[in-house]
Each structure stands twice: as C-alpha cells, then as structure tokens.
Chain A
Amino acid sequence: MKRMPAPIRLRELIRTIRTARTQAEEREMIQKECAAIRSSFREEDNTYRCRNVAKLLYMHMLGYPAHFGQLECLKLIASQKFTDKRIGYLGAMLLLDERQDVHLLMTNCIKNDLNHSTQFVQGLALCTLGCMGSSEMCRDLAGEVEKLLKTSNSYLRKKAALSAVHVIRKVPELMEMFLPATKNLLNEKNHGVLHTSVVLLTEMCERSPDMLAHFRKLVPQLVRILKNLIMSGYSPEHDVSGISDPFLQVRILRLLRILGRNDDDSSEAMNDILAQVATNTETSKNVGNAILYETVLTIMDIKSESGLRVLAINILGRFLLNNDKNIRQVSLYTLVFGYVALTSLLKTVQTDHNAVQRHRSTIVDCLKDLDVSIKRRAMELSFALVNGNNIRGMMKELLYFLDSCDPEFKADCASGVFHAAEKYAPSKRWHIDTIMRVLTTAGSYVRDDAVPNLIQLITNSVEMHGYTVQRLYKALIDDISQQPLIQVSSWCIGEYGDLLVSGKCEEEEPIQVTEDEVLDVLEGILVSNLSSTVTRGYSLTAIMKLSTRFASTVNRIKKVVLVYGSSIDVELQQRAVEYNALFKKYDHMRPALLERMPVMEKTSTNGPTEIVQTNGETEPSILETKHMPNVPQPANQANDLLDLLGGNDVISVIQTAPPTKLVSAGGELLDLLGDLSLSGSVPAPGPQVSISQPPFLLDGLASQPLFNDVAAGIPPMIAYNKNGLKIDFTFERSNTNPNIAVITMHASNSTEVEMTEFVFQAAVPKTFQLQLLSPSSNIVPALNAGTVTQIIKVLNPQKQQLRMRVKLTYTHKGSSLQDLAEVNNFPPQSWQ
C-alpha cells in the first residue's frame, strides 16, 4: 500500500493559505488539506495526529467545519505524550461543547489526568474541566477538584479554584462540598491562588445568602491583604506601573463590596481601608484609575459613612475634569475615564444629589463630546440632575443638544425634556415655548403618548390659549411633515381658532389671519401625502369644530365634510358621515357638542393620562388611544375637608367618583345624546346641556338603600335646615358589618328657585372612617319637587359618639353659596 506523504506542518499550511488571493482560492486550499487530513486520520497514524489536529484547529478558527476531528482530539488526550495531550485538550476546548455526546468520553481521561504525576497534565485537565465540563462531568469529578483545592501546589490550586467555580455554576447543590476547603485559602502567599480564591468566594457569596453571612467573618483578613498590597512597596513579581497586583486589588474590592452590602459591621470594618485606597492610589496612569473606579463602586454600594461617599463622588468629578483638560491632547486614557465616571455617577445620583450637582457643568459639557457612549450617559445624567433651580439653564443646554444630536437620541431626549418641563416649569409660557421648540426641532421623533399629554397641558393653560394657537399656526405654515406637531396644532386650531382670527394674543404681536386662510392650512393637511391617517382625523375634526367658532365659512366647512363622507379611509369616512349628520339632523345640538373643552383633571403623571369628561360634554374622540374612564376625585377635595375639622382631628374621607359617563369613539354619539349625565361634581364653564330630568337607572339604584334590612327603629333626623335647604338623614345598619352605619342624605329645596351644582361633603373625627358614595344628582329642584340623595357609610369600631361636620356648596339665584355646619344630634342607636 502506498504511504501518503507526511502531512505538512501547520506553518506550511498557514503560509499556503496566505498566498490565496481570493476567498474561493482559500476555500479550495482548505478543502484539499481537509481531505489530506481525513485520509491521514483513517491511517490511524499516531505520529502525525498532533500536527493534523493543530491544522484543523486553525481552519476551524477561520470558520470552516472541523467536526470530523473531534474523535481525534480524544485520542490525543488519551496519549501519553504531553505534546499530544496539550493539542488534544486544546482541540477539545475549541471544537467540543457539552452538547456533543463525544465529550462524555473525555470524562475518564480527565479523571485519570487529574491524578497524573505531572502537574502540567493535571493543570490541563483542570483547565478543560473548568471551561467546558457538563453537569454530569462536574458531578463525577467534583471530588477530584475538591482534593486539588487543598493541595499545597499553588499552580494547581489556583486552577482548581476556578474549576470549582465552574462546578458550582453547573451543579449548585455541590457548593457546600467546597466549603471546608475554603477555610485557609486566603492564607496563601501566592497571588494566583489568592486571586482565584477570591473569585471562588465571590461566586459562593453571590449564590447563597447563608454563605454570604458565613464569609463575612473574612472581612478583616481581606482588609489585611489589601493593606499589604498597598503598603508593600515595590514587588517586581506583580508590579504593573508601580502598583502592586492591581488585578488582585480590584477583585478584593469587589468581594468587599458584596460582603459589605447591607451590613453595618462589615461596612464599618472596611471604611478605613477604602479611604486609604481612595487617597493613596496614583492617578496618573490607567492602572491606578482602574482601582479607584472599583473603590468608588464599592463605597457607593456598602453602608459607608457620608464622608467617604463625598470622597468617592469627588474622585468621579476629578475623572470628568481629567477629560476636559486633556481633550486637546486626545489622551486615550482620560476619555476612557469620562465614560466610566459618568456610568458611576448615574448609579449614585439618587442618593447623593447635592454632591453630584457640583459637577453639573462638567457633565453638561460632556454632552458636546464626540463619543457616542459618553453623550448618552451625559444626557441621562443631565435629566436626572434637573431641578427647580437649574431648569432654565439645563433646558437651554438640552434643547441645544436635541437640535444637534444623532437621531438615535432624539426620541429619548424629547421625552426627557417633556418630563422635566412638566415637573419644573417656572412659568406656563416657558413651558409652552419649550414644547414648541421640541416639536419644531424634533417633531417626528416625539413619542405618540406625548400628544395627548401636550393637549391636556395646553387646555389647562387657559390664559395662554391665544398665544399658543398663534405660535402653533405659524409653525404649521412652515412645515407640515412632522406628525405630532401637526396633530397638536390642528387640535389647537380647532379649539381656539376663534382666538386666532380675532387676533387675541397678549404675549406677542397678534398676526392677521382670516378664516379662509386657516381652513386652507387644515385642508392642506387633509390632502397632503405626508399626513398619516391619525393626523388626517385630527384635521377633519378641527375643521368641524371651527364650524361653531367661525362665522362666515360654515358653508365651506359643510362642503369639506360632505366630500370626505365618501373617503376611502374608513376612519375619515365615519367621522365625516357623523359630522354630516350633525349638520343635517342635529344642528341644534352642534354648538353644545363642539364646545370648548373644559379644564381637565390629571390623575397621574406617569403613563397615559386619564381625562375626566365632565358635564356630559361629548367630543368625538380625537385619538384612538384616549378614553375616558371613571376617575376618582382628586385629592384636592380631601384637602379642603381637612380644613373643616380644625385642631387635632384628622379625618379620612374617601369619596367615590361622580357618575361620569364613559365616552368612546364617535360612533356612539347618537346614543350618548340620550344618556347625558348631569351629575358632575366639578363645576364647568359654559352652559349645561339642558335635559330636564331623570337621573338614569344606575343612579336610581344608588339612591336606594343597599341593604335590605332596615334596622328597626333608628329614627331619621334633620341634619341641617337653613335658607330653604333641608338635609335629612335616614339610617340603616349594614347586615354584613354591625360597626358600619349607613346614612342616606336627602337634600330638599323649599325655595322657588332650584339649587344647582349642589355638592355635599362631610368629615368625621379620627376614630371613624367615612365613605361617601356618588350623589344622585347635583340639582336640587325647587319647591320640594324632588330630592338629591347620597349614601354615607360610617365605620365606628370604637362605638364612639358620632359627630359630623358638613360643608354644602351650591348655586342659588345666580350666586354661589357655601355653608359649614356641625351635626351633633345623632340618635344614640346610630352609633351604639
């Protein structure tokens, strides 16, 4: 049989491949070589196996498949020659992973090698096990690892420690097994062992709180080791730029961090050493700064005393300054510090706000840095630092940043600006100007939820309406490509178009605009290709609203609405058809329906804004995302009541929502007309929709007693009787909880004029709890023609005498009246 020529060495292969000029040529060479290797493997030739596998590994690194070499690696591992074993294990680590079945075959080899006479072989085995051992392998060999952890050979001990880490990661239950071996790991002098021991301890502490508690007693020893490192002077073995083993220092600091977290005693024990490291470490080279960085992280995480924290923040501040001064020199190190320092500061700003504020100007300068990661950190940090005092200056910088930054930042920056402006705006005009600026410069990056928030803000700034609509109009004629801007502007023009054409603007020169010009702009948006469907919807609605605000162009509006009644877009079509109906059949309702929006109550600043629809005013929904659910009364009312009972009494009042109707997308317009609610408890501008009577079904139920057994014999009482307004209380006792008394309030009016906007509020002493359900309505008809009822539930666990203070507000004969009264004449049965 003809023998194949000796396979080429790895060097030859590499040289050959380097001569390849194209990818195809390279592939060809490699395939040829692979074929040669395969045949060589088939010959089972031990001499060249090592060489072949080495070549295979090289080709694997280039990205070519090499799985046919896996078994060969195993054979190499089993060989007695160290060179063979070395390549075999290397191949195993590179080519195999625990998903291959082949690797299980290694277990026996590794086991033998762990007990080999040569330490380097043992080392190899440990290394391989520590990198890619599967859970079965780890389980089998954990005992061997543990034995090696106790050996005095430092070369092996350090590798055993890291293999132990791997075993613990794969089979957490075995962690306890290594506990005894850790007892004197830290007594080692050898830094390699120390280093890996610290890693092992860290892993164990992170996995088990019991271990963490157990190892806390090591803090003094760790502190001692760290101290020696710092004080030891020059040690050629571990020196890096004049600092003794910085890697070990960093590792120890990290372990100290974990041990000191949430533990006062440990934190106190490390205070001194941390201060020492922080002040003594050389900062001229990167090495020193690496240690300082870790120290700062540790200080921030444990329960350190405030002096230490301030020290840490100042170190970070110095890092940032480093950045500034050397920017001309373009020193790589200082720019690295800038990034690192900013990340740390971000983590600390919540806790040590004042100290960080001092570095604000440096941080703001980082916004102009060239590095993308630095800019992002600086932006996040800047937003976190904004407060009432620095809002104007910070906002100027941030808006400038918004103008010039990359698109990836714009959305976040815009949201941040809105959020900050909302919290700290010094004046309404400033707030609106800021929003305008964001919309015009980054309008297309603004998030969708910003639009309803802005609309609400604008509505609530009543005195700025004229100014706002004028500015938005001007922005609109410049540019109609940014959707959020157009949406907000259209909405505004729809609401306040009358102010626009009448030239009512206090803040700046009013512009001369005719009704037709406004309609031109809005219609332009409708037909533009740039507008999205949502935007078109806004625009159409705005045009419709203007029909009640503009005097001379109603016919034009009617024509537009008619045209869109046959639009292909279903959303637009539906709106147009309904508006058409409004013109035709319900023209008498049109003014009321399209009226100005009232001031909206905001319930939460996070998340989608809930808007309370008061007074039954229906607005065909502007946005799909906006819906008006029932909303509990704002806290203001409770605060008013706190004033009622002066002195020591503290009341708890829980009021439930007035029965506001759920308004949803325009399709139910016609249904709602029949169901318009009258009973809002918040007075609203403009005339009420006049529908004469009855509270609807739900209210009817609410005013009836909710519990069937009328408690025998508790007599009703008159709580208040003045100026024609009489308040009666009737009592029931709850059958579920005998401590709760259920009082029904009946309000009647004996004068000839009805009382409108009637609101009943009550407060009780501290020992009671009170709950007011919704009233049946807020109009008390004249001449005792009907009553307003409301249910009051009082919880009286201590069976104390019931006292109540009531506050009545209502409008009578055109003037609004208010009265306070004490109710003390409760019958004893109601509270005993």
Chain B
Amino acid sequence: MIKFFLMVNKQGQTRLSKYFEHVEIHKRTSLEADVIKSCLSRTKDECSFVEYKDFKLVYRQYAALFIVIGVDEAENELAVYELVHNFVEVLDKYFSRVSELDIMFNLDKVHIILDEMILNGCIVETNKSRILAPLLVLDKMAES
C-alpha cells in the first residue's frame, strides 16, 4: 500500500503532500526533510529505490522537483515507478507542459487529480481521460 505521496523541490520546499496513513503534523516536516535529504544525496549512478525506516521510497526527479512515493514491503517498486510517470503525464495533459509553478498555484486541482488516481493507498484509475473527466466538469461549472 502507498503510505504517502510527496512532491518536494530541490530546496526542500514541499509542493504537495498527501498521507494515506496518518502521521502527526510535527512529524510530517521532519519526515519530508529526511526524505528529501536521502533523495538529494543519491547520485545519478544509484537506483531509484531507497530503504527508509520501514518504508521503501520510490523517487523520480523531474527538473527541480522530486516526486517521492513511500510504499510498504508488499508493493512492486517498478510498478510504482511507472505510476509516478503516469501521474506526471496526466498533469502534463491537463496543464499543457506542466511546470512547478503550475502545481504551486493550482494545488487544489492537483489534489483532485491525485484523488482520482490513488485512493486509500491503492491505484484507482490510470487512464488519463477518465482521471481528468471530473476536473473538466468542475472547470466548466466554475466558468458558468
């Protein structure tokens, strides 16, 4: 099961955080700092999976942003790796060439997308059009 989903930039600022298993607020900041530290210290030669406490971290870097998913032992790391890329592709489709600023200023929309994709730590939907459908409806309603 997926324990948490983080988007953190190279300076350590959290751009998005979603926890599927409850973590105390004050522990979250230290967790995020720890996680980004271990990801930043990895060189290009090292693989994308890190063991952290009793999770496994799967991370992927896109420009200056790190997307980190923490999973438990039972998950297939390679599949989660693909999931990260799938998520970025969805964002890309919605925002047309997504950048970090897009994510920052549309945090609520990114959350909606994430909720359509992952529910309670499990994958719900991976088809891009279906994921974006409710969001597009919402946008239409907001315009009118």
Contact = CB atoms under 8 A, between A and B. Distances in A.
Interface of A: 10-11, 14, 54, 57-58, 61-63, 65, 82-83, 86-87, 90, 93-94, 97, 99, 120, 123, 127, 130-131, 155, 158-159, 162-163, 165-166, 191-192, 195-196, 199, 237-238, 240, 245-247, 250-251, 254, 286-287, 289-290, 293-294, 297, 330, 332, 335-340, 370-374
A371 B47 contact: yes
Contacts of A245: 126
A130 B119 contact: yes
24 contacts: A10-B105, A61-B16, A62-B14, A63-B25, A82-B138, A83-B142, A97-B22, A120-B134, A123-B134, A158-B124, A162-B120, A165-B120, A192-B130, A196-B119, A247-B123, A250-B79, A251-B123, A330-B44, A336-B78, A336-B81, A340-B49, A340-B77, A370-B46, A371-B47
Contacts of B134: 120, 123
Interface in B94-132: 104-105, 107-108, 111-112, 115, 119-120, 122-127, 129-130
B39 to A, nearest CB: 13
B37 interface: no
A234 B124 CA distance: 22
Place the interface of chain B in its size category. 35 or more
B55 interface: no
B81 A192 contact: no
Nearest to A195: B123
B24 to A, nearest CB: 10
Contact of A293 (B29, B76, B123): B76
Nearest to A162: B119
Contacts of B124: 158-159, 162, 192, 195-196
A499 to B, nearest CB: 49
Given A166-B120, A238-B127, A373-B50, A340 B82 contact: no
A238 B128 CA distance: 9
Given A286-B82, A340-B77, 14 more contacts: A82-B141, A93-B115, A159-B124, A162-B119, A191-B126, A195-B126, A245-B126, A247-B126, A287-B82, A290-B78, A290-B81, A335-B45, A336-B47, A340-B49
Contacts of B47: 332, 335-336, 338-339, 371, 373-374
Nearest to A250: B79
Contacts of B18: 94
A205 B28 CA distance: 33
Contacts of A340: 49, 77-78
- A interface secondary structure, majority: helix
The list of the 4 closest CB pairs from A to B, nearest first, reads: A290-B78, A371-B46, A335-B47, A336-B47
Interface of B: 14, 16-18, 20, 22, 25, 28-29, 43-51, 76-79, 81-83, 86, 104-105, 107-108, 111-112, 115, 119-120, 122-127, 129-130, 133-134, 137-138, 141-142
Contact of B108 (A90, A251, A290, A337): A90
Among B47, B107, B108, find the residue whose CB has the most chain A CB atoms closer than 10 A. B47
Contacts of B122: 162, 165, 196, 199
B6 to A, nearest CB: 10
A374 B45 CA distance: 11
A816 to B, nearest CB: 61
Contacts of A99: 22
A65 B25 contact: yes
A240 B45 contact: no
A15 to B, nearest CB: 8
B83 A61 contact: no
Contacts of A195: 123-126
A11 B16 CA distance: 15
A83 B123 CA distance: 25
Contacts of A94: 18
A120 B137 contact: yes
Contacts of B108: 10, 54, 57, 86-87, 90
A290 B76 contact: yes
B125 A158 contact: yes
Nearest to B86: A240
B2 to A, nearest CB: 12
Nearest to B130: A192
Contacts of B45: 330, 335, 370-371
B78 A293 contact: yes
B113 to A, nearest CB: 12
A14 B104 contact: yes
Among A254, A294, A332, find the residue whose CB has the most chain B CB atoms closer than 10 A. A332
B125 A14 contact: no
Contacts of A131: 20, 119-120
Nearest to B61: A332
